[in-house]
Amino acid sequence: MSEDNDFLLSANSSNGIEEAKPGNHVMFFTDNRKLYASMLADLIVADGKDDFVYLAGWWCDVDIPLGDPHATPTPMTLRQVLSLITREKPAIQVSSQELPPPNIPGAQVCAMIWRQKSQIDIMSGLPVFLTSLPVSIFGDPLLSSINTEAVKHIRACSNDSHAILDFNHRLFGSHHQKLLIVKNKNNLIGYVGSTDFNADRIYQIKEKTKNPTSTKGAPLEDVTLRVVGPVTADILKTFVDRWKLHPEGQNHPLRGDGYTPPQTSAGGTTAQIAHTYGKDYPFKGRAVRSAADTILKIVDNAKSYIYFEDQYLIGTAELYNALRKSLNRNLNLNVIAVMAPLDIVSDLPWLAQRRSDFWRPLINLFPTRIKVFEMTNRDQSKSGHGSYLHAKLTLADDKVATVGSVNCSNRSWYHDSEILMTVVGDAGDQDEPRAFAARLRLERWSRHLGLGKKELLNIGDGISKWGRLPFTALVKPWMPLLNPLSLNQNYVYETVLDPK
């Protein structure tokens, strides 16, 4: 455990840092169809009077099927399963001479779903020359209607179920956390990662469904974790804290408030939950940046490799300095990064320049030890179906993995609400490799390089494949632009697009 501590934060309640907890069973999902199917299996048995389901999300479409939408029969939708598990059930009447007993309640379902600030609020905080920015900067109108419908449905599920459209955040911020917590008859289960309940996770662009996606490169590729064990208490606490600090939540008690999961060991991994919260949201007078501190500690202590997957990969000044320091200090350290192709990421203007301004000086300093790539789909296309990488993943040395909602950006490190899970230790079975992080590396590198996992088992062999890509690779090398952002463009990023 001593080496694992190199990647974990020391608990500090005043800074919102929860202690790392051993004894967890953690699974990863990179196929959202399989992820949704797992969620459905956990949800369907959460229908008792003591059960609860809590979710926090950026986007919540209750009409998507939880599984493969092309399967026969079509899986239940989120709407259907939430309606089912919250229904009251008739109690068994012991004697016909007595009055019928009251019905037995079903699960409590509660949700905190993002609602962007109003256009009026945002425009009042903008200089005039910025008011012509794309409407997507201020929130997708489709997202607003979909999230509103989700809240409406959950509120109608049962007397003690409730949902909040949450716009208590900084002016240009969002609630970006993606978590699901399920207390069912079997256990307390947590999901943390980069997946929302969104059609773009399982449908191609414009494919027929109730709320068809317009996202190029859909279905998106994510990494999300399912966990059972002591650390689920901290995922639950994440939701309970936000709920109780929201004015609306204070009027709707949570069944899960005060619930403690079994403290017996469920597996071999140690896990820690970290967060980002902008100042005053939701904690008055303070901000939380434990997610950023987690990644910085990993960068500082990595010995052989640091691997990033990220939608944007635009970085932060702290991350730049940490990478430069570690690469200078350790001549054996390699940095590999994979991001979504520029062709399909449409929600950030001048993205190519912003990425370049972060990576250009690092690549110039360490040209042989930093390698950056754009992901392609299975047909080696940077714009076709399945080419959008949406994961937020950090790996180092086959010893540590972080997965969550946290992008490599100022917004995710300092400004919005985010959640991150760090995992160290063994997966808990007899298969090789034992380390959870090593298994996740092999899964991702095998996908991107188009090679079998056995060919990549040795870290050094795997790193060398990135230096000379095999013809099977499903990534393309990326090089930074030479021209930096202008002063005005930087101002837009620092103020609106990627604020601290």
Domain ranges in the chain are 4-88+106-497
pLDDT band at 119, cuts 50/70/90? very low
pLDDT over 90, % of the chain:
80
Whole-angstrom distance, CA of residue 231 vs CA of residue 41: 21
| Cα–Cα nearest to 78, from 115, 114, 98, 53 | 53
Q: Where are the beta strands (DSSP E) in 169-223?
A: 179-183, 188-193
Average pLDDT over residues 393-413: 98
Q: Peptide bond preceding 367: is omega within 30 degrees of 0, i.e. cis? A: no
Average pLDDT over residues 420-434: 91
pLDDT band at 13, cuts 50/70/90? confident
pLDDT band at 430, cuts 50/70/90? confident
Place of tokens 């699960």: 107
Torsions phi, psi of 255, nearest 5? -60, -35
Is residue 340 helix, strand or coil?
coil
Average pLDDT over residues 69-84: 98
Residues 6+ apart with CB under 8 A from 333: 302, 303, 304, 305, 306, 326, 327, 369
Assessment of whether the complete model's pTM goes beyond 0.85: yes
Q: Where are the alpha helices (H) located in 2-104, listed in sequence order?
A: 32-43, 78-85
Determine contact, residues 191/180, Cβ cutoff 8 Å. yes
H or E stretch at 348: none
- The CATH architecture one would assign to domain 4-88+106-497 is 2-Layer Sandwich (3.30)
pLDDT tens digit string along 334-389? 999 999 999 999 888 999 999 999 999 999 999 999 999 999 999 999 999 999 99
Structure tokens at 456: 């990549």
| Cα–Cα nearest to 242, from 412, 419, 420 | 419
Residues 6+ apart with CB under 8 A from 71: none
| Cα–Cα nearest to 402, from 288, 269, 265 | 269
pLDDT band at 139, cuts 50/70/90? low
User: What's the confidence (pLDDT) of residue 263?
Assistant: 84
Determine contact, residues 116/174, Cβ cutoff 8 Å. yes
Classify residue 71 as exposed, middle or buried by CB count within 10 Å of its CB (0-12, 13-18, 19+).
Answer: exposed
pLDDT tens digit string along 208-243? 999 999 999 999 999 999 999 999 999 999 999 999
